[in-house]
Amino acid sequence: MSELKLPVGPGDHVQGPRDAAITLVEYGDFECPFCGEAYPELKIVQRAMGNRLCFVFRNFPLSNMHPHAERAAEFAEGAATIGHFWEMHDLLYENQEALEQRNLTRYATELGLSHELIQSAIRGDFAERICRDFTGGVRSGVNGTPCLFINGRRFDGPATAAALLEVLRSFGED
């Protein structure tokens, strides 16, 4: 049914080979508890699939419901500019209960973001990028978070390692 309208491109945050047989795209919100629950599950999936999987994260902050989500996404994008997107992604999901500005600033400092870069994230300088992810997600049929796409098709099953691995392994056999 719903298909990814924005193909995975050079601007995306990816883990694993870009030419892997299977691409798993997550639209996520750093404050969303369901994304928080999916986080360790997706790690298991990545470890199990190894180089056969390219994992992509795109921003989908539901800012009215999750007041810290947009700012957290700004910090992740800020970290991305110095090559530390995934470290920040992991820190945010591992500390979902602590996403106040002072917490974000501490994670950023730990990862080596400069004062200027931190100010930039606080100002919202990455809003356009985040908005582009969000709008592309809406157009692709993202209806909540986390929303997963496997090789471009929306996956409507549960975001658990067991459910995902079953589907991903069947893809690999094609």
16 close to 57: Cβ distance less than 8 angstroms: no
109, 138, 157, 162: residue in contact with another protein (rule CB under 8 A): 138
Under rule CB under 8 A, residue 157 binds another protein: no
Cα-Cα end-to-end distance for the chain: 20
52, 86, 141, 163: residue in contact with another protein (rule CB under 8 A): 141
Hey, what amino acid is at 113? L
Give the 3-state secondary structure of 70-125: HHHHHHHHHHHCCCCHHHHHHHHHHCCCCCCHHHHHHHHHHCCCCHHHHHHHHHCC
Residue among 66 and 84 whose Cβ is closer to another protein: 66
Closest CA to 41 of 143, 167, 163, 169: 163
**What x-and-dash track marks residues 58-77 binding another protein by CB under 8 A?**
----xxxx------------
Q: How far is the CB of 148 from another protein (least distance, A)?
A: 14
26, 71, 140, 168: residue in contact with another protein (rule CB under 8 A): 140
- Contacts with another protein by CB under 8 A lie at 2, 62-65, 134-135, 138-144, 156
